[in-house]
Structures are given as C-alpha cells and as structure tokens.
Amino acid sequence: MLSHEDNELLCRIGPGTPMGEVMRRFWMPALLTQELQADGKPVRIKLLGEDLVAFMDSEGRIGLLDEHCPHRGSSLALGVNGECGLRCLFHGWKFDVNGQCVDTPAEPENSKLAKAMRVKAYPTRVAGGMVWTYMGPKEKEPAFPHFPWFDMPPGSCEAFKVIYECNYAQALEGAVDSSHAGILHRDSAWDQPAKWPHEKDLRPKLEIEYTRYGMRYCAVRNDGEQKQGRMTQVPLPFYTFIPPDGPKAPEFRRNRRLVNAFVPRDDYTTWHIQFFYDPGQTIDRAHRMAEANTPHDEHFFKTNGMSVWYNQDREMMRTKNMSGIVGVALQDHAVSETMGKIADRSKEHLGRSDMAVVAFRRMMLKVARRLAETGELPEADQAHFDWEQITAETFLFEPTQKWQDIQPLADDLQPVGAAA
C-alpha cells in the first residue's frame, strides 16, 4: 500500500509536478507516423496533461505545437496546413514546425508582430513507426536513444496505439505483475487442466534487481525437472520489455518481442503504445490486432471497453477461458481500468506476489524525489545504454543454477546509487 501523499506523487504528471518533471526528461513516443501526411490534417494530441497539435509540413518536417494560437487562443487543429506552416483559422496567423510565427495577414504590412510571436513547440524525431518528442528543459535535452526495434527489417516491427482509461502507473503495474499471467490470462476455464508453465505454477518466485536504466526482475517457475525464468525489463520512465514465449511456444511466438510504453496522456488516461518485433519474421499486423482485441475509434478510445463491460462472456468463463474476455490486452485493460481512474493504493493489501509492483513504485518515487532535490536525472541519457544488452528473455535452467548466471547484468548497467 501507499500513503495518499505518495500515491499523488506517483500518479500526478501535469506540468510542475515532480513525476511530470521526470517524464519530461525523456524522449517519448507520441504518434504513429501513419497519423500524419504532408500538408494533411493536423492531429490533436494530449501528452502529460498538455493539449498539443501535430502536423507534417510541405517538406515532410513534423511540428508539435501548443494547440492554442497565442493570438486569441483558438485551436490550431482547425487550421490550414500548407506552404510549410499551420495557419490559424481565426485571423490567419501562421506558424512553422519550430513554433515561429511567419505571417500575420490581418496586421499592417510593416508590422513586426510576427517576428515577436512564437507558440510553444517541442522537438520531434521519427523512429520505429512512431513520432517521438522531448518535452523537458531545452538545456537538459538528452541525445535521442537508439532502441533495438529501430533497426528491424521492413515488416519485422509494428507499432500500435490505444488509450488506457486509467493512470499510467496502474496500467504499467499490470505489466510488471507476472503472478497474474496464469490466472487472468489462463487459456482454459479455472477447473480445467492448465496448458502452459505459467498456468501450472501460479506461485513464481520473484527476484528484482535495480539497474542504471531502471529495474529488471525474473519470475522463476517450476517446469518439470527444470526451472523456467521469465525476465522482464522495466526501463524508466514508463517502459516494460516483455519476454517472448520461449522455447516451448509455437515457432512464430518463440522470439517475438513486445515493448510497452505507458505514456501518460493526463492524470486519468494513458497512451498504451506497443512495439512488436522479431528480426526473423514478418509481424502479422492483423493477427496481432486480433490477439490484443482492443479496437478503437478515430481518437484511439476502445470501442469494447468499460461501457460494454469488455464484452465479458460468462459461458466462455465456464467452458473456455478464465476471464471470459477475449484478448490479452483487453483483459489487462479491464482489470486496471475497473480500479478507477487513479487507484486508491492506501486501501490495498499486498502479498509476495506483488514484489515487482512494490519495487516499481519505490523506484519511481525515489527518482521523482531525487530530481526535485538535485535537478539531475542521469537515467534520462538513454542514448548511452547498449540496448542490445537490455533484453527480456524466457529461458530454462537447472535447479542448481542461478538465473543471474544465465542473464548477467553488464557492469556498465549496474546501479550507481540512482534507484537502488
């Protein structure tokens, strides 16, 4: 459990909040590249509690601006995108991708107002099928990181996005909770024989290690005469690297990797961004969407969410699967969203199965307090990490072995008093 004060510190991410300042020190994925076209429709997007507008100009450059025109406050998302700028519909003020006003057609011809006017603009990069942005202090901007999925062959990486209708922390906590996998995601009714190792051993031993980039943990289960380890990576500030299904899974799922980014939209909703990648095969986008079962409207809100109680089927619960909800992602959304927009963690009663959740909270609270006290956040320099060493894995090992001997943490990734 957390005190009310610590819960607020963990969850509130608006401008000026300690956790919001942590988030703003990192490059973050914001939009799918397919959402933007040169001189196309501007896209409204909310990030970290801020209302923004994204557009691609005539030369393919991407701007991410404060949504509201500095003249009278009208939405620039209504504006005309063309001739290398976004023109406000109200009085025609036009802004380039850097936020500089380049035209004020209703002002006198000799007016210097345009040169003096800027709208807040954030830098952008394109990688891995996403538009990324940095929203922190300019003087603290880190180098852009290079994640492994950026280098995948065409078709071997697919990005997805949908809105989680709750705070980022409880969305992320579901992804660092290995103990629920054999229950919520059970591929059979509760009273039917279990199919998979994580369903057969419902009491994994959780072991956590803090690292220079965040934390990692291993869920160790019995698998016949061997042990199965599932090692999950949790890089700051909102990522989870989920291990592939491993050597006993169907071939197309053995090495398929998943990265979640739980990017705060505001205090009460989250962008659930997923990267699926596998250098050895093409990712079947339609199949993956069916697996997740989170169809959405044009604004990325689910159409099968809480309003229809996730289409839960009680007959399916009795005969086919534990949850009665189709889709692993939708199952996760259901249990997290029904806690409320911001879960009241002061009312929780936690057990040993929640060790990774507790470790995540401690890490985030410590980082937020340290940044507030010192102004420094070395973990934000993600470009300096060798991400090829930071992988999530499923593996088998002998009972006499330690999983750390099979998946050692490189010396340069050991914590330096940061989150330990």
pLDDT tens per residue across span 97-117:
999 999 999 999 999 999 999
CATH of residue 60's domain is: 2.102.10.10
Domain boundary among 100, 133, 166: 133
Do 104 and 166 fall within a single domain?
no
Q: pLDDT of 366-414, one tens digit each?
A: 999 999 999 999 999 999 999 999 999 999 999 999 999 999 999 999 9
Q: Which domain holds residue 78?
A: 32-133
Q: How far, in whole angstroms, is CA 146 from its chain's centroid? A: 16
Q: What angle, 0 to 180 degrees and rounded to 10, lies between the N-to-C axes of helices 355-374 and 4-11?
A: 80
For residues 41 and 80, state if they share a domain: yes
pLDDT, tens digit, 9 for 90 and up, residues 161-187: 999 999 999 999 999 999 999 999 998
Domain membership of residue 139 (yes or no) is: no
- Residue 364: strand pairing partners: none
Query: What are the structure tokens assigned to 416, written together?
Result: 């330096």
Q: Give the C-alpha separation, 49 to 14, whole Å.
A: 5
* H/E element, 368: helix 355-374
Residues 269 and 242 in one domain: yes
What's the whole-number average pLDDT of the chain? Answer: 95
Domain count of the fold of the chain: 2
- pTM of the predicted model, to two decimals? 0.96
Q: Of 133, 165, 190, which residue sits at a domain end?
A: 133
Domain-embedded: residue 12 = no
Torsion of CA 350, 182, 260, 281, to 10 degrees: 160
Confidence of residue 256 (pLDDT cuts 50, 70, 90): confident
Pair 354, 246 in one domain: yes
